Amino acid sequence: MKLESFNPNTHQKIGEVEKTEPSQVEEIVQKAKQAQSVWSNLKIDERIKILKKAKSILYQNRDDIAKIISEENGKPLFESYSTEIIPTLSLFNYYIKNAKKFLKPHYERIKLPVMIHKKSWIEYVPYGVVGIISPWNYPLLLPMGQIIPALIAGNTVVFKPSEWTPLVGEKIKQIFDEAGLPEYVFNIIHGEAEIGQALVQSSIDKLFFTGSTKVGRLISIAASEKLLPVSLELGGKDPAIVLADADLDRAVYGILWGSLMNAGQTCVSIERVYVDGKIYDAFLSKLVDEIRKLNNYSGNEYYDYSNIKLPKQVDIIKEHIDDALSKGAKIFYGGKIENNFVQPVILVDVNHSMKVMKEETFGPVIPVMKFNTLDEAIELANDSDYGLSASVWTKNIELGKSIAKRILAGSVLINDCISHFGAGEAVIGGIKMSGTGRVHSRSGLMEMVYEKYYNYDTLTWQKKMWWFKYDKKSTEKIKSATDFLFSENLLKRLTSGLKVLPELFKKH
């Protein structure tokens, strides 16, 4: 069976791939398991060498890959470079440079006097086979943000790209094949939900899911049945708070981009804008001036926003706009919808009884709400089931920082939005319905390993005072040990220590 891929702007078929049968998934996972023991036994420098080659192949083929991303996803070519190719190359650089340092065994001295002679350390062990299920909206960056650290850490990977962007998935496979990864270290499976379900049910050792909260919840339930560790990167409803002292032009440019980049189909896109009443009218008027300058796809590669990729998403966008209008909101600009074309829309007179302020819209919709006090703005920003990211716009950085601390989200940017996705050092992830787990940064690498603790005892002849047998004498000794270790009275510690110390040198 074939999986066909379409360009959402031209509606033309641009390619197809062979679907994986659900029954093949476990077989592939088993091959990945066998490959993993060899891959993880390579020195990290050797794994990094192959990853460096993969990075170089991506760079050499950037134009071809950027074009396919644009065609399959719909996004402007500009964004294929700015939000996919460049951030992915920089993630390669980040992990190539830092992974060895982060994965170095960590020595930990035990300070407890009765164990001071023990030597102990922690190693970072790859989970084994990591399953990666990805969405279609950033078909290169999102999976690569997990594949690169998974491989460097010594895992093998079974990757299921979205059924909406299989061709970019194939490009990723080509990159790793050409880089010379040993067979079955990187594996791709193609298909819809049932292939994802088969992956969750297979014997993978850890799962990374990026996608909607609805599917994330189903996956979390299925994974918990078998205690499969999962990392969930889910939806968002990111607020932007614009203070009266903000640089108005900059706030408008930034928020417009944050709302409409990739036609609003971004997990961390700005979906709610709260503006201080003092600048509300000026903000809206500038926002309209700027939004008018943007172009949709019209046949060449230079446009600002695309059609909506998924037909079902157009229905959700429509539903959110209609629901808002029925509850008193007004369209300030735009809102024309034709097939999968959605003209960017600015909504005013919105409130939190409306879906557009509560549920993920995932489209080019900018609801703008006035606030009068900072406390009110923060309360509104936090009145959400989601907690992915947020932004605060002000010239007063100290005030911005204090507001950022009070916002319930996995990340808060001051005078910017979304760009942290492009920095390897930035921790990405959400709270509440936006998910668990973290990607990118040191934390993203640590999600690919478990900590394994070791220690050995240098006093090989010693009989431990806490071993059997318990009697009156040994109970007195353990009481003295408690005083020796924790009494706040120095004299008591000394006298108890004298009773306990001989025990530490007792032979068996």
**Active-site entry in 84, 163, 267, 271:** 267
Minimum gap (Å) between residue 148 Cβ and ligand NAD: 15
Question: Nearer Cβ to ligand NAD, position 79 or 163?
Answer: 163
Question: Nearer Cβ to ligand NAD, position 389 or 496?
Answer: 389
- Write out the H or E segment, with its range, that includes residue 497: helix 490-504
Rg (CA), the chain: 27
What is the DSSP code (8-state) at residue 462?
A: B
CA nearest to 186, candidates 197, 196, 172, 168: 172
Question: Nearer Cβ to ligand NAD, position 126 or 429?
Answer: 429
The answer to whether the Cα torsion of 485, 488, 490, 493 is positive or negative is: negative
Minimum gap (Å) between residue 232 Cβ and ligand NAD: 8
Shortest-Cβ-distance residue relative to ligand NAD: 196
Which residue shows structure tokens 């299921």? 160
Minimum gap (Å) between residue 418 Cβ and ligand NAD: 11
Known active-site residue 417: no
Q: How far apart are CA 409 and CA 264, in angstroms?
A: 19
Question: Nearer Cβ to ligand NAD, position 136 or 303?
Answer: 136
Minimum gap (Å) between residue 494 Cβ and ligand NAD: 57
CA nearest to 235, candidates 265, 260, 203: 265
Contact (CB, 8 A) for 287 and 255: yes
Minimum gap (Å) between residue 314 Cβ and ligand NAD: 13
Question: Nearer Cβ to ligand NAD, position 193 or 494?
Answer: 193
The answer to whether the Cα torsion of 407, 411, 414, 419 is positive or negative is: negative
**Active-site entry in 233, 359, 447, 503:** 233
Contact (CB, 8 A) for 158 and 132: yes
| Residues contributing to the site for ligand NAD (CB under 6 A) | 133-138, 142, 160, 162-163, 192-193, 196-197, 200, 210-212, 215, 218-219, 233-236, 267, 360, 362, 388, 430, 435
Q: How far apart are CA 51 and CA 335, in angstroms?
A: 45
Minimum gap (Å) between residue 373 Cβ and ligand NAD: 30
Which residue type does 74 have?
Answer: G
Question: Nearer Cβ to ligand NAD, position 149 or 154?
Answer: 149
- Which residues on adjacent β-strands are paired with residue 5? 15
Directed axis angle between helix 141-152 and helix 86-103, to 10°?
20
CB atoms within 10 A of CB 339: 11
Catalytic annotation, residues:
233, 267
